[in-house]
Structure 1
Amino acid sequence: MDRLTSMAVFVKSAESGSLAAAARALGLSHAMVSKHVRALEQTLGVRLLDMTTRKLSLTEAGRRYLVRCVQIIGEVEDAALEASQYQAAPRGLLRLTAPATFGRLHLAPAIAEFMELYPDIAIDADFTDRFVSIVEEGFDLAVRIGRLPDSTLVMRRLGPCRMLTCAAPAYLDRFGLPGHPHDLASHACFALSSAAAPRIWGYQTPEGEEIQVQIKGRLQANSMDLLCSAAERGLGIVFGPSFVLGPLVQAGRLRQILPDHPSRPLDLCAVFPSNRHLSTKVRVFVDFLVQRFGATPPWDCGLR
């Protein structure tokens, strides 16, 4: 069997998490996908995949081999890309997904500007807070925020995502300014229910020591819009990403507190399937986002 084809089938199987999903993505039969993987294992003399009836996992040899396969396939695809005149101008349909709030606030205007720059690229954008499997659902890339786990996806950092603690000037005038994270225990704090630990807020001392604070308050919601609205009315303290709170601080509607005790920042990233080669449409879009958001994104300007 063709070795390069077998390597591509192996990579797709690892990305998809099952031979059946790889078969659907590649338009092959399940038996043919299995045959390609077995051929590689027989040639190499090692087992690459552990398979059960419910899931597929990589062996240690499989993980190492996957990295090299991705590199080799990327080189081959890059060579084809350089030889293709069609790809000289970015074009085609770009399917992307992103978190709902970030998409609404910042990605939507970025996409509109991008479409003005690249009239031959069509966009299909899905803003949602559910987890999207970009391989199985056919997306070209996803914009994600957080401390991302290791995976077979490739990640490119677009910029930082700071976590801020904020309150309205009216609230601080009435109840005082917290000087230390532990002071939050006596304040009304709003919990984001979709967070991993809604009522635990994390900070760092100037020396880098981790601090965790148990907060309390009578408002909990899965909507940052609601929490921000309540905070602007002086009802309590809100904790959230700077891409939401930064513009409100810049407008004077909220005030940043505890700036000397920052929370660990998150990453704003683009993720895409694990091959070194990217189509031109994906590459130029990711480059555009890196340039637009950069090391200091606009929502962080002027923050302490």
Structure 2
Amino acid sequence: MPNLPDLEAWAIFARVLEAGSFAKAAETLGMSQPTVSKAIIRLERRLGTTLLYRTSRRISLTPIGQLVMERARHIVREGELIEAETSAHSRAPKGLLRISAPMSFGLKYLAPLMPEFLARYPDVNLDVSFDDAVVDVVRGGFDVAVRIAAPEDSSMRARNLCVIRRLLVTSPTYLARHGPISHPREIEDHTCLCYASHSTSLSWRFRHTSGEECSITIDSRMRTNNAESLIPPLLAGMGMALQPEFVVADALARGDLVEVLPEWKIAQAYLSLVTPSRVIRPARVAALLDYLAESLPSAP
């Protein structure tokens, strides 16, 4: 029927994008390569435009293909969700899982957990993106985002695992040159290096064990979107920085870095697992959440 959308062709288009080639998509779908190719051609003729550039070695999206890519993925995910809600077979985790995680934390704690997860669930495939940018989970087509931030807004479902402490640190050589610091207000006279994952990172609010609070504005000499990249200038005595504890734990243990104002604490962040707000999660998503909740809390 011409009035109905070609949902099969849209689903095949989404699978071609995930697989990266017609041949791999055909293998994943259990179809012949000509069948996959014909579905894309059928879709392009229906739309009156080209969605994919094809060469003998690779495929790539046209500008129009870029525009409709996420909607095609959404169609497939909604179809999978309908089946997951109505099929008893959904108890067995299977299919593609797309995960977003911060770079430093992801490489240190998440990546080492992936072999065991893949071994435990042989019918699940992973697409993992390590990026310190806060992604839009729905628009990005992600199933799970690992976040280190304040509690998530109500439009998402968040599972808080543990608190991530943030510490003000510098090198002993920096303190030897510039002298000790006794109050957060003095930080404004020092060189600061900032992990700027979001706009509020240049305003630091401290709370003393006695209950006193102090908020300061930072004029940063170096600003970066990856906390680990601040370690070399910190070790070189170039300034001080507010860092997640897991990033600087080894340097603190060695004495290469020291904590500044340990009696003053800054608002802590949560390690959270964020998912789209769905009534029922696909079994593969539930399996990943349970596995990470079991494996991650003791890491930081």
User: Which TM-score applies when normalising by structure 2?
Assistant: 0.65
Could you say what secondary structure the match of 1:271 adopts?
strand
Could you say what secondary structure the match of 1:287 adopts?
helix
Out of 153, 157, 162, the residue aligned to residue 154 of structure 1 is 157
User: Does residue 298 of structure 1 match 2:296?
Assistant: no
User: Does residue 192 of structure 1 match 2:192?
Assistant: no
Name segments (4+ residues, structure 1) moved above 4 Å: 21-24
Distance 1:24 1:168, change over 3 A: closer
Q: 2 CA distance for matches of 1:23 and 1:284? A: 25
**How far is 1:263 from its partner?**
0.6
Is the Cα contact below 8 Å between 1:187 and 1:216 reproduced in 2?
no
Q: 1 CA distance for matches of 2:118 and 2:216? A: 44
User: Does residue 273 of structure 1 match 2:268?
Assistant: no
Q: 2 CA distance for matches of 1:105 and 1:186? A: 34
Which residue of structure 1 lines up, in the alignment, with residue 289 of structure 2?
286
Which residue of structure 2 lines up, in the alignment, with residue 135 of structure 1?
138
User: Does residue 95 of structure 1 match 2:80?
Assistant: no
Q: 2 CA distance for matches of 1:144 and 1:194? A: 11
Could you say what secondary structure the match of 1:190 adopts?
strand
**How far is 1:248 from its partner?**
2.8
Amino acid at match of 2:167: L
Which residue of structure 2 lines up, in the alignment, with residue 119 of structure 1?
122
> Superposition pairs for residues 198-237 of structure 1, below 5 Å?
198-216=201-219, 218-237=221-240
Amino acid at match of 2:182: G
Is the Cα contact below 8 Å between 2:100 and 2:142 reproduced in 1?
yes
Could you say what secondary structure the match of 2:232 adopts?
helix
Distance 1:209 1:113, change over 3 A: farther
Q: 2 CA distance for matches of 1:136 and 1:217? A: 32
Q: 1 CA distance for matches of 2:157 and 2:169? A: 34
Amino acid at match of 1:255: V
| CA shift digits 1:185-225 (9 cap, x unpaired) | 33222123443234322211214443112334533333423
Which residue of structure 2 lines up, in the alignment, with residue 248 of structure 1?
251
Q: 2 CA distance for matches of 1:89 and 1:215? A: 50
Percent identity of equivalent pairs: 32
**How far is 1:134 from its partner?**
2.4
Is the Cα contact below 8 Å between 2:164 and 2:270 reproduced in 1?
yes
Q: 1 CA distance for matches of 2:186 and 2:261? A: 10
User: Does residue 171 of structure 1 match 2:183?
Assistant: no
Q: 2 CA distance for matches of 1:284 and 1:205? A: 41
User: Which TM-score applies when normalising by structure 1?
Assistant: 0.64
**How far is 1:155 from its partner?**
0.9
Instruction: Please list every run of 5 or more consecutive structure 1 residues that lacks an aligned counterpart in the other structure.
Output: 1-20, 28-72, 300-304
User: Does residue 182 of structure 1 match 2:178?
Assistant: no
Instruction: Please list every run of 5 or more consecutive structure 2 residues that lacks an aligned counterpart in the other structure.
Output: 1-69
Q: 2 CA distance for matches of 1:247 and 1:279? A: 38
> Superposition pairs for residues 44-83 of structure 1, below 5 Å?
80=86
User: Does residue 144 of structure 1 match 2:147?
Assistant: yes
What is the aligned residue count? 227
Out of 91, 105, 109, the residue aligned to residue 106 of structure 1 is 109
**How far is 1:257 from its partner?**
2.1
Distance 1:196 1:209, change over 3 A: farther
Q: Which moved more, 1:225-234 or 1:99-108?
A: 99-108
Distance 1:288 1:251, change over 3 A: farther
